[in-house]
Structure 1
Amino acid sequence: MEYHEYFIEILRVLQWMVPIMNLTHSHLTLRQLADIISMGVNLARIPKESEGALMVPVIHVRDIIEDALLNVDQLECVSMPDTAQYHRQLLEPGDVLVSARGTLMKCAVVPPSHRGTIASANFMTIRLGKSAVLKPELLCAFLRQPSLQHSVLGRVSSTAQAALTIRDLENLRIPIPSPDIQPLLVRFLDVSEEQFRTAVSCARLRKEEAMDVLARYMDPTYAS
């Protein structure tokens, strides 16, 4: 089944289930949901020289593009001491990143490929834990909701140095869908994002082809 057909099929199932299921059992605050809410690593405070240093990829806010993280091999690497203090900063799959400085509330879920990376100090990291009642993909999607972002950012000081703090998010009330429906919602998100990326890739290819054709007629330096 093609992605478009699969997307439509999931959508039909979800729409059919809405009238017959209590999709939301309860609300919990982010502080109640999370095992850990912390800020990222302040790179300026990492010791410049230390024995047994590790080279670790670091995620910056600019590395979230269209809600996805750049590949690990495209990330900047920094030297970090091989100590328990810094090992606690290493990211795990399922961690949710929320930008707290710069462009606020850019969100992403850390995939398995990014295990062992670190987040810069411009991020807040949310770790739900293995027994969490909400999947991290759904928390990330909730934090991306325009109405929520408008509400949160409206409370942040409108200065050149506007920033989010843990206090700004820890008391957010998060709706918890039924455990039965959560895997389907996650798959629905995955398929929709895959469709989006495929559409963008196809549109970019068409534009490049159009420019190439135009160059044949109008670019005197064009060489076939």
Structure 2
Amino acid sequence: MVPLSEGPKKFFRLSPDEREALGGFAVHRGAIEERLDVNYHSPEYVTPLLQLEAAFPDIRPLSAYAVVTCGPFGSAIKSDDYRASGIPLIRISDIEEDGTIDPRSIVFIDEDLSMKHASSQVRPGDIVISQRGTIGLPAVVPTTFPLWHISANLIAVKNPEVSLDYVRDYLGSTFAQAHFARRNSGQIQSKITTSDVASLPFPLVENASALSALLEVARAARDSGLAAAERALNGLDAFILDELGVNLPPPHDDTPFAISRASLRNGGKIFPNYYNPDRRHAVAELRRIGADFLDSVVHFVREQRTISADDQTYVGLANVRSNTGEYVDADDDVGGTVAVFAKGDVLFAKLRPYLNKVWVSDRAGVCSPEFHVLRLRADGPIESP
């Protein structure tokens, strides 16, 4: 083996496997094109694209088969513009991994505002692609509404001249993702541009529809597995209660309930939910089995500061899925005061807790102050006196 310190000429004489073992790669000066950054010339991204060009010598860019346009300028549509009806706005957080749009989280904007940025309008049969965060995530615009609008963090592929399913599936392929990863120009957050999508090498194949049909069968099998997992997840509460030996009574059916004035004095609260029979029964049952307060096992970390350009991870409420605790990319307003968290901390949303947004952090970062930051006590649980 020849270390890099002995010079690039000796490194070029090594085999590709030997270069990989050294944890590096070399590029001839004549092979450098467009950009000088290491990521752009990484074999991880270049090799699939060279294989694609070898298989399709006459390959053309995506822009030869569709119109590629960007979303509106970043401040053109703000969260203050969201409405309960109007023109539906597609955001990154609305895109599912299976290439569909989640209808449950759709927001709307006024028709006049949409017409003001008409170039960012899309229709059923068009495709949208995420350009920030998780870059290159594609989705087909559904038929639910005749007209849609895209956010600033999306790029649209309009009026494709080839199979819609094939375009969507190819955008999620290894070759397309290598192209997008290679052209990532983000510093703090990953980013691709409209020209990056328009220049994507796009191969035409005779059996495009058949390939998409096979992928659809695979997706159906995956969806079936996910549905089974969801059913198992829904039974988790019953499993935990059984393991703890907690026996909750049937839910309180009658909406009205009454409490004594003494209970009101002892509770120190005046809002109804605090005295709801279901909550009171649950608390009594937890006390029966010896459950302690949460702060006996965790610290409530309250380290806050102003967000910085150096902060690479920001977690807002939109980044955490309800019930499942999954982290997702989302268009969320970032600015002002943030809370600091460490890897392994638990983020629990204190705003609208019924949404059940809980995330176990796999990295350090900052989050919305609408989260409680919980950190396990290093010395273990504190025993009640």
**Match of residue 155 from structure 1:** 183
**Structure-2 residue corresponding to 1:20:** none
Cα-Cα RMSD: 3.0
Alignment partners' CA distance in 2, 1:87 and 1:166: 17
In structure 2, the partner of 1:135 is: 163
Off by >4 Å, runs of 4+ in structure 1: 23-26, 46-49, 82-88
What is the one-letter code of the residue matched to 2:147? G
Aligned length: 192
Are 1:29 and 2:61 an aligned pair?
Answer: yes
User: How far 1:114 sits from its partner (Å)?
Assistant: 4.5
What is the one-letter code of the residue matched to 1:56? Answer: I
- Pairwise mapping of residues 9-20 of structure 1 onto structure 2 (< 5 A)? none
1:55 CA drift (Å): 1.5
Deviations 1:105-160 (A, max 9, x none): 1111112224312110100100134xx1x212211211212343134312323511
Matches within 5 A, 1:197-216: 197-216=223-242
Q: For residues 147 and 174 of structure 1, do their structure 2 counterparts lie closer, same or farther at Cα, with a shift above 3 Å needed?
A: closer
Change (3 A) 1:83 1:91: closer
Name the structure 2 match of 1:63. 94
| Match for residue 218 of structure 1 among 244, 251, 255 | 244
1:77 aligns with 2:108: yes
Q: 1:189 aligns with which of 215, 220, 237?
A: 215
Distance of 1:188 and 1:220 partners within structure 2: 47
Change (3 A) 1:115 1:197: farther
Q: Residue 87 and residue 161 in structure 1: after superposition, are their counterparts in 2 closer, same or farther (change >3 A)? A: same
> Distance in 1 between the 2:150 and 2:245 partners?
44
**How far is 1:209 from its partner?**
2.2
Q: What is the CA distance between 1:222 and its match in structure 2?
A: 3.1
> Does the Cα contact within 8 Å between 1:97 and 1:123 map onto a contact in 2?
yes
Q: Whole-Å Cα distance in 2 between the matches of residues 219 and 75 of structure 1?
A: 41
Identity in percent: 19
Q: Distance in 2 between matches of 1:135 and 1:25?
A: 21
- In structure 2, what is the Cα distance between the partners aligned to 1:210 and 1:157? 42
Match of 1:175 among 178, 200, 203: 203
CA gap of 1:24–1:114, structure 2 versus 1, over 3 A, is farther
- Unaligned 5+ runs, structure 2: 1-54, 251-385
Structure (1 or 2) with the greater helix fraction: 1
Indicate conservation of the 8 Å contact 2:89/2:151, yes or no.
yes
Aligned AA for 2:192?
A: L
Q: Distance in 2 between matches of 1:120 and 1:83?
A: 11
Report the Cα distance in structure 2 between the residues aligned to 1:187 and 1:219, rounded to whole angstroms: 49
Which shows bigger deviation, 206-215 or 116-125?
206-215
Q: Contact 1:94/1:109 (CA < 8 Å) preserved in 2? A: yes
TM-score by length of 1: 0.72
Q: Could you say what secondary structure the match of 1:65 adopts?
A: coil
Question: In the TM superposition, what is the alpha-carbon distance from 1:189 to its structure 2 partner?
Answer: 2.5
Question: 2:304 matched to which residue of 1?
Answer: none
The more displaced of 193-202 and 119-128 is 193-202
TM-score calculated relative to the size of structure 2: 0.44
Greater Rg over alpha carbons, structure: 2
Q: Hey, what does 2:70 align to over in structure 1?
A: 39
Q: 1:24, 1:177 within 8 Å by CA — same for their partners in 2?
A: no
Structure-2 change in CA distance of 1:160 and 1:114 (3 Å): farther
Alpha-carbon distance in structure 1 between the residues aligned to 2:115 and 2:187: 37
Correspondent of 1:92 among 123, 126, 144: 123
- In the TM superposition, residue 63 of structure 1 has moved relative to its aligned partner by 0.9
SS at match of 2:144: helix
Question: Hey, what's the Cα distance between the residues in 1 that align with 2:110 and 2:244?
Answer: 49
